[in-house]
Amino acid sequence: MDPLNYAARRIGQTLPVALLVTLLIFLLIKLLPGDPATAILGERASDAAVRALHQQWGLDRPLWQQYATYMRNLFTGNLGQSLRYRTPVVELLPHRMTVTLFLVLYSMLLSVLIAVPLAIVAAGHRDRWPDQLVRGLITLPLASPAFWVGILLLIVFALRLRWFPAAGYGEGVVGHLRHLFLPALTLSNLLTAVLTRNLRSSLIDVQRTTFVDFARAKGLARRVVLFRHVLRAALLPIVTLIGVRLSYAIGGSVVIETVFALPGLGSWMVDSIMARDYMVVQTLTLAFAMGVMLINLATDLVYPLLDPRVRMG
Amino acid sequence: MLSRPQNVRLYVIIKGGRPMRGLRGIVACAIISALALAGVSAPDASAQQFKKAISFGVNRAAENLDPVTQDANPDIWAFMQIYQQLVRVNVQGDGFDPDLAERWTASADGKTWTFSLRRNARFSTGDPVKAGDVVWSLKRAHDVKGPWQWALEPVQDISARGDFTVVITLKEPWAPFLADVSLFSNSVLSEKIFKDATQDQISNKPVGSGPFMLVDWKKGEELVMKANPYYFEPGLPKTPELRIRYIPDDNARIIAVQSGEVDGVDYPPFSRVAELKRDSRLQMQLNPSTAVSHLTVNIREAPLNNVKVRQALAYATDRYAIVRAVCFGYCTPATTFLPNTTPYFNKSSKGYPYDVAKARALLKESGVPTPLPLKLLYRSGDAVAQPTAIALKAMWAKAGIDLELEPLDRAAATQRYRSNQFQVYITGWTNDIPDPSQLGAYELGFTESQSYHSGYHTQEMDDLLARGLREMNPEKRRQIYYTIQDIALRDSPQIWLYYSPYTIAIDKKMKGFVQMATGPWLFKNVTVGE
């Protein structure tokens, strides 16, 4: 099957799942005690003011009607209004989405940049001191909670050394790269550890295969064998891993964005749940769900590019 | 789709691997690329910027800048930079300064107030502020449903006499009228711009005559304001730009001010105050406020409908211990319902001393069986409510009360409280006007809020509160509010815990920053030095 067809079919399959997600999150958030009018107007608001807002937002109507309106709006491309900010969600979404995507992709990139050399070193010196050192070091991030690592990095690199800014997102690509370096590094921690371990064992396995023996027998330089044959084959399982971990990273961005005061989707989600900003929570949950599904799809599509033996079906 | 970019990068590494030599080459390559990506250069090039713009980090984001509908401080303190009122509270919080009105007079019967507007006040659009704008704005504040309608409740009519005189007639003489007029909800908006505007426009695009004008608002991120070129006070504001940045995490906010990322931050927690005081680059301010922390007791049902039980709770509460545990000693134990900075606060009131024996005796007298089970509702994750709840559980246990803690997230807790489904709730108050009448009506008067949802309602108190509003003689008024404070303590529909200051940490290079006792920040005199 050609990739385009395959992608179309997979997207078709995800639609019912997406629908289910919308229903689930709609019901879940209504189940939560507390309501947006009270959350927004505060303790001192009068009952009349709360009722007026309910009416204005249609929250006094039966649940199924509210859901029907939500779905109708969704299909006409209307994501509703942020109750809190009195602004259409569509206006707020792109900026926030850019921040989170930038952060997540940046962190993946850092992970790969750190993990691949470490794994190569470890695998190349198997059971000798560089390997032991790498294996020891990468247990550290596995055991450290992200918010703690984040604060630590802030104290060292933003406060003491002043190499990086302490908060915010920056202007322009260079500004983003600078501002998001510490958050991305924090977010990349876990993935770096997992990647290094997996890539190391993957490299060791591949080095033992006959085609590597053959390449060496041909008299190819060690470096050529390593980069052209071993690494390429060893990366296959890693791609799946990255795909799965990318979904976790989106979840992890919630904590990171709060610690580093980044205006991304994660911190917005937390704030919106606290304020019971229904439409924002619904839209973001849907966006996260779609994001995870797309990542899975992308992972499957990338696979055959790396290994021609894999076919789509 | 998402994994494509990193796949491309992978490819580069695979292909670009050739020139590298051994382990060192690989590591060096990785470090170089990581540094290149991070765009590391010598110290912050944008540090220059801070001299042109003030950047202030806040713990809660502004959501809506409509002066008449909003109840949350982040909204109010933000739009107070943009709007002016007829008169404003002075910084000490004990009198009034002219703002849009240069002078004002009250008729002999106290029912007609005449305000003469200054002629040089202009909106940030350049249009002069005229009496028509004031009339339109005050009428809107009077009519639009919101939490502040009480402030213009005694008003009969608001009218313009010419372009620069506003006449307000009252239904009856009203003691706190000038205080009410100074309230932020009575901000003056441009009639021309907002007459036919939608609600969303007023919420999102405020236009006023205050020192700053809003130029950009990234919701939940940052408010960017520029100096209003038409602001009436010559040479003010001193800074051309003010940025109010939302940094919710306490640690992150403190690191932001310590690292110079922002010039000041609000609400560093009390637990960090001592450390910030030691930081030679910072000035740690503990500003007098009108914040009073209290427990609201739901007196509708047994056993809390019994005044002896409530008094027992008041005696069983060690306020000094709470001040130490919750505020690290920076607060003052509360002695009456009024914040100690409010006019007519009774300085000689002793409040409730900590007396476990007395509490036990009162419980015994009340006839309720001990140990008495009670439930305490509070907002989970709240840096102040959480330790207060834990301290109370231990204290009250000594008096024979078995306190069950019920933490709920803010929205859920607020809903439970508003629907009167609680026994004891941890909450608090800040004044919005320098007058005891607002808090009196809200906390002890049934009409406005069922006495802070306690359900407290007595004829004696209602009469006193009504007299307090109408008594024009300051000395007699003082006596009324002293009596109110005594009766409130006796009846204890709330248990007052402590008065807390506002905590602010600013860079020492920042000069001229003032926080009013009623809360809002004044940025118009602020400069950030070299």
pLDDT digits (tens, 9 = 90+) for B82-136: 999 999 988 777 789 999 999 999 999 889 999 999 999 999 999 999 999 999 9
In angstroms, the CA B468 to CA B449 distance is 18
Residues B209, B81 contacting (CB under 8 angstroms): no
pLDDT at B375: 97
Pick the closest to residue A246 from A104, A110, A112 (CA basis): A104
Count CB atoms within 10 A of the CB of residue B419: 11
Give the list of residues 6+ apart from residue B480 with CB closer than 8 angstroms, or none: B464, B467, B468, B471
Give the list of residues 6+ apart from residue B159 with CB closer than 8 angstroms, or none: B135, B166, B167
For residue A144, the one-letter residue type is S
Check residue B520 and give left, alpha or beta (phi > 0: left; psi -120 to 50: alpha).
beta
Q: Do A232 and B14 touch (CB under 8 A)?
A: yes
pLDDT at A295: 82
Give the H or E element holding residue B493.
none
Band (pLDDT 50/70/90 cuts) for residue B157 is very high
Give the sheet arrangement for strand B165-170, strand by strand.
Answer: B101-106, B112-117, B165-170, B155-160
In angstroms, the CA A173 to CA A167 distance is 16
In our burial notation (b when 16+ CB lie closer than 10 A, e otherwise), range A83-104 reads bbbbbebeebbeebbebbbbbb
Of the two residues B55 and B33, the one the predictor is more confident about is B55
Give the list of residues 6+ apart from residue A230 with CB closer than 8 angstroms, or none: A203, A206, A207, A212
Q: Which residue of B has its CA nearest to A261?
A: B247
Pick the closest to residue A232 from B17, B258, B515 (CA basis): B17
DSSP bridge partners of B510:
B528
Q: Do A158 and B39 touch (CB under 8 A)?
A: no
Q: What is the mean pLDDT of residues B204-228?
A: 95
Question: Chain A 226-255, CB below 8 Å of chain B: which residues?
Answer: 226-228, 231-232, 235, 239, 242-243, 246
Residues in B closer than 8 angstroms to A87, CB to CB, are: 200, 204, 219
pLDDT at B71: 82
Q: What is the pLDDT of residues B290-311, one digit of tens each?
A: 999 999 999 999 999 999 999 9
Select the residue of A41, A246, A263 nearest B2 (Cβ to Cβ): A246
What Å distances lie between residue B43 and A159, B52, B171, CA to CA?
12, 18, 64
Band (pLDDT 50/70/90 cuts) for residue B9 is very low
In angstroms, the CA B207 to CA B225 distance is 11
Q: What is the pLDDT of residues A234-289, one digit of tens each?
A: 887 788 888 888 878 877 888 888 888 888 998 898 888 888 888 888 888 888 88
Q: Is B489 exposed, middle or buried (0-12, 13-18, 19+ CB in 10 A)?
A: buried
What Å distances lie between residue A72 and A19, A75, B27, CA to CA?
12, 5, 54
Interface check A113 vs B, CB under 8 A:
yes
Select the residue of B18, B26, B64 nearest A86 (Cβ to Cβ): B64
Q: Which of A292-296, B460-464, B514-518 has the lowest mean pLDDT?
A: A292-296
Q: Roughly what angle, to the nearest 10 degrees, separates helices B356-366 and B307-315? A: 170
Q: What is the pLDDT of residues B229-274, one digit of tens each?
A: 999 999 999 999 999 999 988 988 999 999 988 999 999 999 999 9
DSSP character at residue B352:
P
pLDDT at A311: 64
What Å distances lie between residue A142 and A131, A157, B176, B493, CA to CA?
17, 21, 62, 52
Q: In this model, does residue B489 exceed pLDDT 90?
A: yes
Q: Which residue of B has its CA nearest to A230?
A: B14
Q: What are the DSSP E strand ranges found in A44-126? A: 81-82, 87-88
Q: What are the DSSP E strand ranges found in B62-154? A: 87-89, 96-98, 101-106, 112-117
CB contacts < 8 A (A, B): 233
pLDDT at A215: 84
Residue pointed to by tokens 């330089």: A221
Q: In this model, does residue B33 exceed pLDDT 80?
A: no
Band (pLDDT 50/70/90 cuts) for residue A1 is low
Q: What is the pLDDT of residues B321-332, one digit of tens each?
A: 999 999 999 999
Q: What is the mean pLDDT of residues A37-57?
A: 78
In our burial notation (b when 16+ CB lie closer than 10 A, e otherwise), range B49-65 reads ebeebbbbbbbebbbbb
Suggest the residue from B2, B33, B183 to mutate for an interface test with chain A (most A CBs closer than 10 A).
B2
Q: What is the pLDDT of residues B123-141, one digit of tens each?
A: 999 999 999 999 999 999 9
pLDDT at A312: 57
In angstroms, the CA A198 to CA A241 distance is 9
Q: What is the mean pLDDT of residues B386-415?
A: 93
pLDDT at B301: 92
CA–centroid distance for A215 within its chain: 38
pLDDT at B10: 31
Across A227-236, B50-59, B94-103, the highest mean pLDDT is recorded for B94-103
Q: Do B38 and A164 touch (CB under 8 A)?
A: yes
In angstroms, the CA A147 to CA A145 distance is 6
Of the two residues A93 and A292, the one the predictor is more confident about is A93
Smallest CA–CA distance, residue B76 to chain A, in Å, is 13
In angstroms, the CA B380 to CA B490 distance is 30
Question: Chain A 195-224, CB below 8 Å of chain B: which residues?
Answer: 223-224
| DSSP per residue, B314-328 | HHT--HHHHHHHHHT
Query: How many residues would you count in chain B?
Result: 530
For residue B302, the one-letter residue type is A
Interface check A164 vs B, CB under 8 A:
yes
Q: In this model, does residue B7 exceed pLDDT 50?
A: no
Across A4-18, A171-185, A240-254, B496-510, the highest mean pLDDT is recorded for B496-510
In our burial notation (b when 16+ CB lie closer than 10 A, e otherwise), range B204-233 reads bebbbbbbbbbeebbbbbbbbbbbbebbbe
Q: Do A167 and B256 touch (CB under 8 A)?
A: yes
Select the residue of A168, A178, A276 nearest B38 (Cβ to Cβ): A178
For residue B347, the one-letter residue type is K
Q: Rounded to the nearest 5°, which phi and psi values hold at B367?
A: 85, 0
DSSP character at residue B2:
T
Q: What is the mean pLDDT of residues B426-435?
A: 91
Pick the closest to residue B246 from B232, B256, B238 (CA basis): B256
Q: Is A75 exposed, middle or buried (0-12, 13-18, 19+ CB in 10 A)?
A: exposed
pLDDT at B255: 92
DSSP character at residue A226:
I
Count CB atoms within 10 A of the CB of residue B509: 15
Of the two residues A166 and B85, the one the predictor is more confident about is B85
Q: What is the mean pLDDT of residues A203-213?
A: 86
Suggest the residue from B23, B66, B70, B219 to mutate for an interface test with chain A (most A CBs closer than 10 A).
B219
In angstroms, the CA A144 to CA A189 distance is 9
What Å distances lie between residue B247 and B59, B61, B81, B265, B448, CA to CA?
6, 8, 19, 9, 34
Count CB atoms within 10 A of the CB of residue A307: 14
What Å distances lie between residue B478 and B353, B473, B481, B483, CA to CA?
24, 9, 5, 9
Count CB atoms within 10 A of the CB of residue B257: 29
Residues B332, B340 contacting (CB under 8 angstroms): yes
ipTM over 0.90 threshold? no
pLDDT at B21: 44
- Terminal-to-terminal C-alpha distance of chain B: 48
pLDDT at B145: 80
pLDDT at B51: 59
Alpha helices, DSSP H only, in B297-378? Answer: 307-315, 319-327, 356-366
